[in-house]
Structure 1
Amino acid sequence: MNAADEILDIVDENDQVIGQSPRGEVYALGLRHRAVFIQARDAEGRIFVHRRTPTKLVFPSLYDMFVGGVVGAGETYEDAALREAEEELGVSGLPRPVPLFKFLYDNGAGQTWWSSVYEVRCELPVDPQVEEVAWYDFLPEEEVERHLADWTWVPDGLVAYERLKGLKGYRAQA
């Protein structure tokens, strides 16, 4: 099945399902849906960072410090987080990602989705999907911070990252 044909739940401002539509239609019409963001860290606490492929439907060729994606119709955030993390990292047997917080992303230009943010420890050798990931590495957080100004990042990931850093008492899985 083509990614644009995948069926997604459409949700309201309270994250309640109000309908379903194919992903391509959701994006074209700016319908509010659900997404998951998973910050994957290796055994040394470094963050998995990647550049998206130019064929991605949203934010092609941009850098991201999260793996993740849309939540399918009828799927829970938790199931989507594990599925997306394993798919994008190219692994199986990850521990369940730990939920951190949820927020409504809205860029003010017709792109809006409920976003659930997670973290997961990945101590397995990764083999990211070539259809999703053009480049990747596990980077120390200080290096990610240095590149915030000189790499072009996915805007929703930047918002999630800033919110994650702002969590009172947040300590990454180091």
Structure 2
Amino acid sequence: MQSSLNFDDLVALLMVLFTLITTVANILLWNTTRQTVQLLLEQVRHQIATGYSQAQSRIIDAHRELFLAILNNPSLLESFTSANDLDPKTWEIEKIAEFLINQVLIGYLNFTNGIISLNHFDGFKRDARDVFAYESVRQHWHRVRVVHSDSFRRFVEMELLWEDGK
């Protein structure tokens, strides 16, 4: 029994082989395309997160500039605090505490948005604990904590304040 391929069998075998090669190539192309799309999605997510972090920073910077303009202008400070029945020194300390809290907020947002790595964030947390060690910052935090997001409140209270029982 000698088996020999006739022309029709050879053509059919080549078609099967060609179909197999085409199928494997399509699977590899699909996998590469999927990986490329996933990479592009991650880049878009990172750009959105970066934009959000930058927008938050600009808002905080604008508030800081506004308050510093008031703090650095004695007559404006006097007018503002008198009009609002505030003690100028107390208001200055509250604004400084607010600046420090907002600085911690920027670092936290940059971490949660993937802008800074965990290694850098660990160092940042040590600095942030030092910020929240100031009595004026802790007091101000207890007054303003409700305006911050749940996740930031948990971070401050569980990561920065809880160790000291404050």
Higher fraction of helix: 2
TM over 0.5, yes or no?
no
Q: Which has the higher strand share?
A: 1
Which structure's CA Rg is the greater one?
Answer: 2
By relative contact order (CA 8 Å, sep 6+), the higher-ranking structure is 1
Report the TM-score when normalising by structure 2.
0.29
TM-score using structure 1 length = 0.28
